[in-house]
Structure 1
Amino acid sequence: MNSIESLQWRYAVKKFDDKKLLSSAQINTLKEAFNLTATSYGLQPIKLVVVQNKDIQKTLVAHSWNQPQVEQASHVLVFCIPKKYSNAAIEEYFDLVKKIRNTPDEIINPFKEYLMGDIDKKTQEELFQWNKNQAYLAMGNLLTVCAIEQIDSCPMEGFIAEKYDEALGLNQQNLTSILVLPVGFRAEDCYMKDLKKVRKETNDVIIEIN
């Protein structure tokens, strides 16, 4: 399938086949795609928790407004961001730039100082919202990759972050959950499987300026 056909094939799965598991290669593709996601300034203030444990997944259903896909799915991907963000993350980023690109300090420092000053001006609430936006970018990217790779998925905002954080031990890592993405294979009796996709006409959502 081409890209458009893959996106037409994709839908938010309401019932997964709980007997089918993604291969290691498929999961590695999703991990790499997550790591390659575009983020503001390339800072990557996001982490991905990959859950493949039916006992934990069953526990998480109660914290996901009883959406059964969380337990049925092959894996559950949880997008996380730092609870608190500081200039230490900027330091780590530019250390990585130097390691990978061997960029000299005289080139790095002006931009580094600009970013650190910008971070200092923002409140933790503003930084949290900024980083939260990066999680949405990452999920959008993975939804597309899933479609291209013929991996079924169901993006979720409907869950109790505090309960997820507790169940997955995120509090001890200065992380909080933002989005959840069960992935796997659609069940043959998923009622949404053969329904036509409901979308506006392209001309209704595109504004062209020539």
Structure 2
Amino acid sequence: MNPAEILTALNWRYATKVFDPTRKIPADTWAALEESLILTPSSYGLQPWKFIVVQDQELREQLVGHSWRQRQVADCSHLVVMAVKKAYNMDDADSFIARMVETRGGSADALAGFRKMISGTHAQGYMTTEWAKMQAYIALGQFMTACALLAIDTCPMEGFVAAKYDELLGLTAQGMTTAVLCPAGYRHPDDRYAGLPKVRFGKEAMIEHR
């Protein structure tokens, strides 16, 4: 894509308020979007998350009641719940290091320095639930951009009761919690927000060159 096409896609996207429940994202498009989630960068590459794709309609209707009555979670094509680990530990880090060895070759011993760096950060108390949630927002941004480039509508959502989501999705038992939601699908033609101009501060106020 050229720069103009990227900006056109980003100007086209908006936080969709009303989805068309009759339209579903094609399987091949959705497969690419799932891969965009997997390819999301994260601190040290540790990926302290899990992406739950909720398509069961009965479950999604239950979730509406725990989402400030926002219908997007039920009417979208695919609901992505971005969940994170409540407590990241060195066992998790070791699993990632094992995956590095599996993918790139070499040995865990050769990555001892890398493990020590992660261990030092962990010992200082930085790898909290809040840290993991910040990582999830990187995934949210990447997913929304990938969707926009494929002309798929999204709506980032923080208006939900995390404890209820955790309960209904079985996340509590996994030591995880819901960080943010992102319904994806196609805008309804009656969504009046689709045609509104974006309200953004100008470049001169938001970007500084030194």
TM-score tier, shorter chain, comes to over 0.9
Matched, 1:46 2:45: no
SS of residue in 1 equivalent to 2:68: coil
CA deviations 1:22-73 (Å, max 9, x no partner) are 1111221111001100100101111100011111111101100001111111
2:149 alignment partner in structure 1: 148
Comparing 194-203 with 142-151, greater Cα deviation is found at 194-203
**Paired residues for 1:166-205 under 5 Å:** 166-205=167-206
2:134 alignment partner in structure 1: 133
Letter in 2 for 1:114: M
2:65 alignment partner in structure 1: 62
SS of residue in 2 equivalent to 1:33: helix
Pick from 23, 37, 43 the counterpart of residue 20 of structure 1: 23
2:8 alignment partner in structure 1: 5
CA deviations 1:89-118 (Å, max 9, x no partner) are 110011111111112345311111221232
Matched residues, number: 207
Q: Distance in 2 between matches of 1:52 and 1:136?
A: 22
**Paired residues for 1:74-113 under 5 Å:** 74-113=77-116
SS of residue in 1 equivalent to 2:165: helix
1:71 alignment partner in structure 2: 74
Aligned residues with identical type, % of pairs: 36
Letter in 1 for 2:138: L
Aligned Cα RMSD in Å? Answer: 1.3
The gaps in structure 1 that reach 5 residues or longer are none
CA shift for structure 1 position 81: 0.4
Q: Distance in 2 between matches of 1:106 and 1:48?
A: 31
Q: Distance in 2 between matches of 1:10 and 1:101?
A: 37
SS of residue in 1 equivalent to 2:128: helix
Q: Distance in 2 between matches of 1:185 and 1:162?
A: 28
TM superposition score normalised by structure 2: 0.94
The answer to whether the 8 Å contact 2:97/2:108 transfers is: no
Q: Distance in 1 between matches of 2:6 and 2:53?
A: 26
Letter in 1 for 2:121: D
Q: Distance in 1 between matches of 2:135 and 2:75?
A: 27
Matched, 1:114 2:117: yes
SS of residue in 1 equivalent to 2:184: strand
- Rate the CA distance shift 1:105–1:154 in 2: closer, same or farther, 3 A: closer
CA shift for structure 1 position 76: 0.6
CA shift for structure 1 position 135: 0.4
Q: Distance in 2 between matches of 1:27 and 1:188?
A: 22
Q: Distance in 1 between matches of 2:17 and 2:124?
A: 43
Matched, 1:162 2:163: yes
